[in-house]
């Protein structure tokens, strides 16, 4: 912790329900928040489960950044140069968010205005149902009947049974599927064909992280949009996915390294006519609200993490009863630490 330039603190987030996906299960997640001197900027770092970053790498990166600069940047054009090259993506993201938040607070503008982005309109986010038995997933879907869009984690032994059970109790819902890289190409082709009768809105990351060419092949077999998530780590990946013909990408700030790299990825994706999903890992309202400032640029929103945790330390993004997200339009990111 550096008391002169900024401070950071580790927080354990507790989930309302265990988060089970194809490659693991957890009920607690560690995140860090960063606060610039004078309470003038907040940032968040959450390590994605597939990210390969460590706490130690992030702490070293922040300590070096705190020693390397006397003054904070005063415009968005100085932010990436101030942060410098290298460092884990979540650590870079936390610093960038804090610096952008500070600039917005000083200018008295919400972040989307600082970035010269369109004003976000209320859009519905999906609500995630973790991988479980068909009966349990259907029970959750029935209980969350106010939510119009459900994101279903698959990658187990009973994938089609899970979809069938949920569709039976929620014929009204838009269904998105997230496989978390659990299928190989032959199984994916088979599953996509079988699941097409359930009117799916999209299928997210059906194949392994490095199987970009194969995801393009899969996309060529179906009208259902294939959306890359784990495969999107950098700008080169966006080019590769676009060339492969994949329909869309899911961007998460903890993987892109912040908002400014995410905006560049969106620009490149549009050159390939790809669609955009804005997503999140398990993180607080701080990171999710920051991402929501980009929602005017996206077709799909998947920003439900604050709804999944018990102990969110921040307030920021608002959800109505149908899970439409709405920003507060306060200066900067627009979050407050709960008392």
The pLDDT tens digits of the residues spanning 296-315 come to 999 999 999 999 899 999 99
Complete domains list, the chain, with CATH: 6-108 (3.30.390.10), 123-337 (3.20.20.120)
Per-residue pLDDT at 51 exceeds 90: no
Question: Could you tell me the pLDDT band of residue 219, with boundaries at 50, 70 and 90?
Answer: very high
Quickly count: other Cβ atoms within 10 Å of residue 275's Cβ. 17
In tens, the pLDDT along 224-247 reads: 999 999 999 999 999 999 999 999
* 296, β-bridge pairs: none
Length of the chain: 339
Per-residue pLDDT at 339 exceeds 90: no
Q: What is the pLDDT at residue 215?
A: 98
**Residue found by looking up tokens 């194809």 in the block:** 22
Copy the structure tokens of residue 243.
């060339």
Which pTM was predicted?
Answer: 0.92
SS3 260: helix
Between the alpha carbon of residue 110 and those of residues 106, 116, 119, 133, 175, the distances in Å are: 10, 10, 10, 43, 32
What is the C-alpha to C-alpha distance for residues 100 and 115, in angstroms, rounded to an integer?
9
Sheet holding 42-46, edge to edge: 6-21, 24-36, 42-46
What is the C-alpha to C-alpha distance for residues 319 and 321, in angstroms, rounded to an integer?
7
What is the C-alpha to C-alpha distance for residues 136 and 132, in angstroms, rounded to an integer?
6
Q: Specify the DSSP class assigned to residue 217.
A: H
On whether the CB atoms of residues 333 and 111 are closer than 8 A, the answer is yes
* 151, β-bridge pairs: 128, 176
């Amino acid at each position: 912790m550096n008391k002169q330039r900024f401070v950071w603190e580790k927080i354990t987030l507790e989930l309302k329900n265990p988060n089970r996906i194809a490659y693991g299960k957890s009920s607690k997640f560690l995140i860090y928040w960063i606060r610039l001197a004078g309470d003038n900027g907040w940032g968040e770092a959450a390590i994605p489960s597939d990210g390969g970053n460590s706490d130690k790498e992030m702490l070293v990166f922040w300590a070096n950044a705190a020693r390397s600069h006397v003054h904070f940047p005063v415009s968005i054009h100085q932010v990436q140069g101030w942060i410098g090259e290298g460092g884990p993506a979540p650590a870079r993201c936390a610093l960038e968010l804090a610096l952008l938040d500070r600039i917005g607070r000083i200018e008295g503008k919400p972040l989307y205005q600082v970035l010269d982005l369109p004003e976000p309109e209320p859009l519905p986010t999906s609500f995630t149902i973790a991988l479980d038995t068909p009966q349990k997933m259907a029970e959750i879907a029935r209980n969350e009947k106010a939510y119009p869009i459900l994101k279903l984690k698959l990658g187990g032994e009973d994938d089609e049974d899970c979809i069938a059970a949920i569709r039976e109790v929620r014929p009204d819902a838009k269904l998105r599927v997230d496989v978390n890289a659990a299928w190989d190409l032959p199984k994916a082709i088979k599953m996509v064909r079988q699941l097409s009768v359930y009117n799916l809105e999209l299928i997210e990351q059906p194949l392994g992280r490095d199987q970009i060419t194969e995801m393009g092949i899969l996309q060529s077999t179906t009208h259902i949009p294939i959306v890359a998530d784990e495969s999107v780590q950098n700008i080169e990946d966006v080019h590769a996915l676009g060339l492969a013909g994949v329909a869309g990408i899911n961007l998460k700030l903890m993987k892109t390294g912040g908002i400014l790299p995410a905006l560049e990825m969106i620009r490149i994706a549009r050159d390939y006519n790809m669609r955009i999903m804005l997503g999140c890992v398990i993180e607080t309202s701080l990171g999710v609200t920051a991402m929501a400032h980009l929602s005017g640029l996206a077709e799909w929103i998947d920003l439900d993490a604050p709804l999944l945790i018990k102990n969110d330390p921040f307030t920021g993004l608002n959800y109505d009863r149908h899970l439409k997200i709405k920003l507060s339009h306060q200066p900067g990111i627009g979050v407050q630490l709960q008392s």
